[in-house]
Amino acid sequence: MDISILSIFPRMFDALNESVIGKAQEKGLLNLQVIDFRDFTTNKQHHVDDTPYGGGAGMLLQAQPIYDAMSYLETENPGKKRVVLLDPAGKTFDTKMAQSFAKEEQLVFICGHYEGFDERIKDLVTDEVSIGDYILTGGELPTMSMIDATMRFVPGVLGNNFSAEEESFSHGLLEYPQYTRPADFRGKEVPEVLTSGNHEKIRIWRLKESLRKTLIRRPDLLETIDLTKEEEKLLREIRSEM
């Protein structure tokens, strides 16, 4: 997968050279390119922003540097691209979007700063995306979050191919509690079913605890899931226990 990032703070993305994403680059599973669109300004001061027409507080990113950076990117790496604009008013990023991004051959992220963008920049993009109902100083941190979440669904990135499928939100439910050695830590014991060796009982326990956690912490998620008959039965049991 090829991922290109347009930002005026390219060094922030050095963090993506570490851990799982760094290893994905070493394996050739990810080709990451960070472009400083300040390099494409045409004014002597290398400004990428200006005051908004009609007045108002703050500064807006100008269209010209980003348009020219995108033209450069197309020359260097031609082909169909999915272009993501980081925008607080955009669609909220989630697991389904990460899975969709992971199927693309080329992704481009445009990171904003200041008070926003010249509206004409949006003519370049395919997706306007937010990571939540709050404002950050720029799009760099959200971009890193989305790249990390997306790459987990690219085959070969995770050591265990089932990891991304079993974690929270992958099936609409929060992940069940997990434990490792020792079985008894300062009087706090691992649930007996997990040491029983009975895989069917373990499966049912995990599913029930996943449903329990979702019901307690994110009941809104249950409204969007088509539960199986087994899940409906377990959910009734949980509610009767509460």
Residue 135, marked binder:
yes
Residue 220, marked binder:
no
Contacts (Cβ under 8 Å, ≥6 apart) of 11:
none
Dihedral of CA atoms 171, 175, 179, 185 in degrees, nearest 10, equals -170
Encode the chain in three state secondary structure: CEEEEEECCHHHHHHHHCHHHHHHHHCCCCEEEEEEHHHHCCCCCCCCEECCCCCCCCCEECHHHHHHHHHHHHHHCCCCCEEEEEEEEEEECCHHHHHHHCCCCEEEEECCECCEECHHHHHHCCEEEECCCCCCCECHHHHHHHHHHHHCCCCCCCCCCCHHHHCCCCCCCCCCCCCCCCCEECCEECCHHHHCCCHHHHHHHHHHHHHHHHHHHCHHHHCCCCCCHHHHHHHHHHHHHC
Residue 134, marked binder:
yes
Residue 8, marked binder:
no
Residue 54, marked binder:
no
Q: What is the CA radius of gyration of the chain?
A: 23
Residue 136, marked binder:
yes
Residue 179, marked binder:
no
What φ, ψ does residue 129 adopt, rounded to 5°? -130, 145
Q: How far apart are CA 121 and CA 72, in angstroms?
A: 15
Q: From the annotation, which residues make up the binding site for S-adenosyl-L-methionine?
A: 112, 131-136
Q: From the annotation, which residues make up the binding site?
A: 112, 131-136
